[in-house]
């Protein structure tokens, strides 16, 4: 007897409706190792990153830098809690082998885990897009952002991102999609299906993630191009851009990690529901574990890619100059030669005007000329 029988389906909790009843646990030797390793690597990494960010926040004097650190702090907290909540449930299942139907007859626990998976999955992508937007405005339109903007507004933006991700995670509870237990029985996720509301929610989850990655790529590309122009411009010694370069390097690495880790899962979900084919559980588990690496690798971007770390690794670097471009003499000389060539071509076109102006005696010179005898 299975869930497709009318009598069983009538008394079957909704989160078990797409599984064979009674649900049989499919043990896997490697499954508990994956979950344990992810938690063992991710939780300490995010904790160290949070301590590093907290110290940097108290030391920084740059307003734009403090805004960026607030966003990074929100991202670290999200990654830490995501690993803690979802990982604890999965590891507890493999240790105790509890029966989902006995401890969760009304699917509340399954819904909670499904919501956690969606919430902690979308938050890093949404925060990455928000950080890219903040850096885009800060670099390309510095006067559009008020210098007196309080830090509480940045905190409000992080809370707004969490609120949006939470609203999306709640959609299956309103009827748009549904959360179901997934093989091998240790976790719950939304039902990836090409039918009705399940298809709609699957596409929402996939498209929101892909759009966030695309927005991050577009805005970060424009910001990097603008920053290179500023660093290579004639006013590079007048404007310090070390902090901006450091923030953009970290943001670019965060974007690359998120793209590499999440794109396979997001594309797999969209392709599965649009093609109408059966769900391949093996690939779902593979890409989901691949996406989990995002929460493990993110904190090492904040831990390793900082100027203080570079100073210790390579003390000969002079970070006190006006621009990071001065750290690379060969590149700086190349830019200087190109700038001189451009200036020569401009001066050559104005040489005639300069000759005519030299034939005119300045008024100051006439006043300073002594009287003739």
- Of 298, 227, 225, 234, the C-alpha closest to 76 is 298
CATH C-level class of 34-313: mainly alpha
d(CA 27, CA 150): 52
Alpha carbon 118 to its chain's center = 16
* 229 confidence band (pLDDT: 50, 70, 90): confident
In this prediction, residue 212 carries a pLDDT of 95
Average pLDDT (28-55) is 84
Where exactly are the structural domains of the chain? 34-313
d(CA 9, CA 331): 70
What does 131-160 look like in DSSP terms, one character per residue?
HHHHHHHHHH-TTTS-TT--HHHHHHHHHH
Model confidence at 333: pLDDT above 70: no
Q: Which residue has the higher pLDDT, 169 or 366?
A: 169
d(CA 24, CA 195): 25
153-157, 210-214, 331-335, range with greatest mean pLDDT: 210-214
- Specify the range with the lowest mean pLDDT, choosing from 2-6, 146-150, 189-193: 2-6
d(CA 58, CA 2): 59
Residue 136, both tokens: 């885009």
Model pLDDT for residues 273-294, shown as the tens digit of each residue: 998 888 888 899 889 989 999 9
In this prediction, residue 96 carries a pLDDT of 82
In this prediction, residue 144 carries a pLDDT of 52
In this prediction, residue 317 carries a pLDDT of 56
- Of 190, 175, 19, 171, the C-alpha closest to 110 is 190
- Specify the range with the lowest mean pLDDT, choosing from 13-17, 171-175, 178-182, 197-201: 13-17
User: Is residue 320 helix, strand or coil?
Assistant: coil
Q: What does each C-alpha distance from 327 to 202, 227, 245, 301, 339 come to in angstroms? A: 48, 16, 13, 22, 18
Model confidence at 10: pLDDT above 70: no
In this prediction, residue 225 carries a pLDDT of 87
d(CA 267, CA 259): 11
Model pLDDT for residues 231-272, shown as the tens digit of each residue: 665 554 444 566 777 888 888 999 999 999 999 999 999 999
Burial 295-307 (b: 16+ CB within 10 A, else e): bbbbbbbbbeebe
* 335 confidence band (pLDDT: 50, 70, 90): very low
Is the entire prediction scored with pTM above 0.85?
A: no
Using CB atoms within 10 A of its CB, is residue 350 exposed (0-12), middle (13-18) or buried (19+)?
exposed
* 28 confidence band (pLDDT: 50, 70, 90): low
Model pLDDT for residues 64-118, shown as the tens digit of each residue: 778 888 899 999 999 999 999 998 988 888 888 787 888 878 888 889 999 999 9
Q: Contact at 8 Å (CB) between 289 and 207?
A: no
Model confidence at 141: pLDDT above 80: no
Model pLDDT for residues 164-184, shown as the tens digit of each residue: 999 999 999 998 988 988 887
In this prediction, residue 307 carries a pLDDT of 72
């Amino acid at each position: 007897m299975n869930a497709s029988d009318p009598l069983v389906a009538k008394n079957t909790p909704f989160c078990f409706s797409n599984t064979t009843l009674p649900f049989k646990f499919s043990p896997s030797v490697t499954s508990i190792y994956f979950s344990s390793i992810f938690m063992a690597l991710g939780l300490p990494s995010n904790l160290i990153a949070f301590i590093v960010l907290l110290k940097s926040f108290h030391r920084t004097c740059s307003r734009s830098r403090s805004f960026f650190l607030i966003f990074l702090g929100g991202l670290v907290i999200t990654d830490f809690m995501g690993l803690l909540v979802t990982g604890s449930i999965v590891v507890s299942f493999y240790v105790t082998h509890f029966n989902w139907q006995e401890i969760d007859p009304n699917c509340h626990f399954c819904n909670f885990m499904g919501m956690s998976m969606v919430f902690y999955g979308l938050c890093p992508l949404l925060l990455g897009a928000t950080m890219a937007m903040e850096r885009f405005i800060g670099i390309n339109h510095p006067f559009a952002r008020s210098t007196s903007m309080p830090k509480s507004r940045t905190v409000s933006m992080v809370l707004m991102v969490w609120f949006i991700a939470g609203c999306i995670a709640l959609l299956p509870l309103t009827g748009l999609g549904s959360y179901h237990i997934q093989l091998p029985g240790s976790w719950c996720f939304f039902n990836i299906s090409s039918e009705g509301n399940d298809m709609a929610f699957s596409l929402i989850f996939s498209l929101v993630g892909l759009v966030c990655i695309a927005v991050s790529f577009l805005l970060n590309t424009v910001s990097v191009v603008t920053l290179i122009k500023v660093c290579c411009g004639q006013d590079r010694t007048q404007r310090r851009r070390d902090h901006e370069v450091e923030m953009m390097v970290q943001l670019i690495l965060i974007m690359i990690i998120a793209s590499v880790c999440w794109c396979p899962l997001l594309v797999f979900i969209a392709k599965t529901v649009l093609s109408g084919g059966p769900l391949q559980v093996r690939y779902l588990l593979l890409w989901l574990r691949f996406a989990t690496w995002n929460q493990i690798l993110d904190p090492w971007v904040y831990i390793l890619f900082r100027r203080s770390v570079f100073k210790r690794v390579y003390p000969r670097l002079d970070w006190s100059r006006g621009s990071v471009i001065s750290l690379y003499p060969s590149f700086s000389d190349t830019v200087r030669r190109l700038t001189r060539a451009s200036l020569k071509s401009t001066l050559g076109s104005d040489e005639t005007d300069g000759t005519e102006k030299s034939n005119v005696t300045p008024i100051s010179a006439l006043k300073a000329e002594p009287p003739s005898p």
